[in-house]
Each structure stands twice: as structure tokens, then as C-alpha cells.
Amino acid sequence: MGVRGDLPLQRGSQEGQEPLRQFSTKYGTPSPGEPLQCIVRWFSSARANTKDWSQAVKVVFWHFYTFRLLRGIETLIIGLANALVRRGIDVSIVTAKPTLMERLAPLDTRIKIYAYPTTRYYAHLCIVPFYVAHFAHHRYDHIVVFFADFGEGLTWRLLNKFVEMPLVLYLHYPYSGSPHRYRSFLRLGWDQMAKHILGCAAWIAQEAGELFRRQVQVVPQGTDPERFRPDRALRSALRQQLNLTDREVILLNVSALEERKGIQRVIQAIARIRRRFPHIRYLILGEGKDELRLKNMVEELHLEDVVIFGGITSQPEAYFNLGDIFVLLSDLEAYSLACDEAMSSGLPVLVSRTAGFLERVTPEVGFLVDPNNAEEIDAALTKLIVDPLLRCRMGEAGRARILANHTWDRAAEQYLELLR
């Protein structure tokens, strides 16, 4: 049995790219072979532009991979941009030419998208002329950046003395896990020059604050409770489609297939408890460099009829409804968006007792376990498998927690409160 993300794709809004088409029509569509000529045209236009930039708050999310990867940062940009534009904020996205638009959640058509071409090799360097031209022509109140190493740092060096660039540094990874990213910020002086520095979790903000010796404010990620919500009809239809009965208990993982995500720990746990619970299944959604090793492990443990590799889907909300228990036993998580989506969908969660989960998961919504303690993992799994009422109570409590604290609308409110 296998799942390959076979539900119909939900395409992102194409109307949201209209500003890019208008921009290209007015100034010419640039290509990697003629960036300098485009800079001359755009810079001249920018100097002659007398538009009043103070009429509305202008926020731009600047990230090379916005429409090229499906991670927490990319999901945050789309979710927070949608929530901000609903509040009357003028929102733009500056990024590289899309490669994954069909897999993304819809974008509000009021969001301006500036997606610039680049090359296969030295892509982060070749896009810089387009970035320079863009920020020479456009003015923003907040330029939200997540990295300095993908063309952002060089662009800033070239423009900073001539153009005001009010940076908002938004940290989604800890200093302890990615010190080289933080060293880039320090070399550029962004630790002191940034207008604001934000962290997606309190522990990330604390680490960064100690390193930068300044306040780092917390704006957690959100989720969409309308998209990720319990849906009994969808659950029944998908189970019927996949020949799964209501008796079968589905453990669900949504993450990159990397060793640090701990998928191997769940496979090993299933091997230990399978004889007691022959009706369990483990659905793994995602792809990554560890996929072959994990599939070999499943074969060696004779779990081919239990573990399902589902690949990537554009409709994870359907599979959260298919599942019964969300399990993620990773080494470390800066912040798990998938865990929030599972809670929003009404699933109990079983996750590692590490910093990324401690701020989110309480005893009412799931279990926190030592990811290296097999007995603790097995005990928690057993409690959830044998007690559907416990799963229901925890799922309801988790969704209530998301609705109260962790929606995209709430994240937008916190963002605007901190930046006023």
C-alpha cells in the first residue's frame, strides 16, 4: 500500500503575480544576461519617482527560496503576508523565480510579488543586480529578512550608503544550530543596525539576545485553523480511498526525511510494539536525503505493510484528518509548524522533550518524551493507541490552544504590536 500525495493539487493564486507582470512591462523584463542595463533603467526611474511613500505601512518579505522550498520559513511568509494584507498593510514579496508555485497555499491577490530570474550556478550571486535595482526603486517601512547569505548581504552592502533599508531580522533557527548564519549577521553589523530583531520562539530569541546584546522580541509562527481543522467526511472518504478501516490507528509524520528528524526512532518503536498492535500504520509525508536509508530499515524490519512513504502533497490538511496521532521525535526543532497544523487538525501529538516543543506542547495536548528513551516512547505510544477517548480529549485541547494563541491572524497582531 502506498500514498503518493494523490489528491488534486491546490494551485497558488496566479493573480498575485500581476504586479510582477506590470513591473516587467514598464521597465522591461530582465534576464540573467542583462542585469546592469536594467539597473541603469530602474535607478534612473527611482531617482525621478516622487511618490509619497508615507501613505501606508509597507512591508516586504525578502527571501530567495519563498517559492522554491516548502519549509517553515516559506510557509510563514505566505501565512503572515496574507494576514497582514487583510489588515490594510501594503505587502510585497521579493524572491527568486518560482519553481513550486503549484504546491503552495493561495496568496491574497493584493500581495505584490517580485520574482527575479537567476542562473543555475552562482544563483545567489547572479540575482543580486536585480535585488539592487528593486530596492533602489522601491521604499519600504520594514524589510523582513531571514538570512544574509543568499544575496541579501551583498545587496545591502551595495545599497546601504545610498538607500534607506530598514531591516527586520526574523530568526527561525537557533544560534546553537546554525552559528555560521549568525556570524554573517555579525559581520554585516545587522545585530545592531536592524530596526527590529524577532525570533519565532522564546528560546531562539533568548540565545540571539545574549549573542547580540540587545532585545530580541518573540513573534511565533501561526497556522490556518480553517484549512487545518477536523473534517470527519474528508477522513472517511480518504480512508475509503486508501482501503483503511476505522479500526486502524494511523501514526503520522510530516517533515523532511533527514536523520535529525528522528523518523528512524518511530520505525524502531513500531517494530517493538507491532505484535501487540497489528492494526497500527505509520504514514510518512515528506522527502529528503535519508529516504533510501529509511526504506532499507523498513525492509530489514519487515514493516513494508505497516510503514507508508507518502511523498509530498499539496494538501496536507487531508492527511492530518486521515491520521490519529502525530509523532515527531526529532533531535531538535527550532519550531515545528507541522506540530501546530496537527494540533489545529485535532490530533494528539507525541514529540521530543526539546526546546522547540516545550513552548507549545502541554500535558493536555500530547506527550513529551526523551527521543532516545525507547521505554518512554513505547509507553506514550501505547497510551494513545489503546485509548481513543484520550486521543479525542487531547486533540480537542490542542485545537483550542491553536485557536486561542497560534493563528496567522494572531501572529500578524503580535507583529504589528511589536513594530509600532
Q: What domains are defined for the chain?
A: 15-223+408-419 (3.40.50.2000), 232-405 (3.40.50.2000)
pLDDT digits (tens, 9 = 90+) for 237-293: 999 998 999 899 999 999 999 999 999 999 999 999 999 999 999 999 999 999 999
- CA 237 to chain centroid: 28
Per-residue pLDDT at 11 exceeds 50: no
Per-residue pLDDT at 143 exceeds 60: yes
Q: Which pLDDT does position 100 carry in this prediction?
A: 80
Q: What is the Cα–Cα distance from 151 to 63, expressed in whole angstroms?
A: 9
Cα dihedral 332, 334, 204, 190 sign: positive
Per-residue pLDDT at 321 exceeds 80: yes
The closest alpha carbon to 366, from 225, 251, 228, belongs to 251
Q: Are 349 and 366 in contact (CB under 8 A)?
A: yes
pLDDT digits (tens, 9 = 90+) for 323-362: 999 999 999 888 899 999 999 999 999 999 998 899 999 9
Q: What is the Cα–Cα distance from 350 to 297, expressed in whole angstroms?
A: 22
Radius of gyration of the chain (CA): 23
Mean pLDDT, the chain, rounded, equals 88
Q: State how far the alpha carbon of 283 is from the alpha carbons of 61, 163, 197, 308, in Å.
A: 33, 50, 37, 5
Per-residue pLDDT at 304 exceeds 80: yes
Per-residue pLDDT at 105 exceeds 80: no
Q: Which pLDDT does position 12 carry in this prediction?
A: 35
Per-residue pLDDT at 28 exceeds 70: no
Q: Are 201 and 175 in contact (CB under 8 A)?
A: no
Q: Which pLDDT does position 35 carry in this prediction?
A: 52
Question: What are the strands, taking DSSP E only, across 263-323?
Answer: 280-285, 307-311
Per-residue pLDDT at 82 exceeds 60: yes
Does residue 151 come out as left (phi exceeding 0), alpha (psi in the -120 to 50 range) or beta? left
Question: Which pLDDT band holds residue 315 (cuts at 50, 70, 90)?
Answer: confident
Q: State how far the alpha carbon of 77 is from the alpha carbons of 105, 130, 131, 221, 412, in Å.
A: 11, 20, 18, 10, 11
Q: Which pLDDT does position 71 carry in this prediction?
A: 84
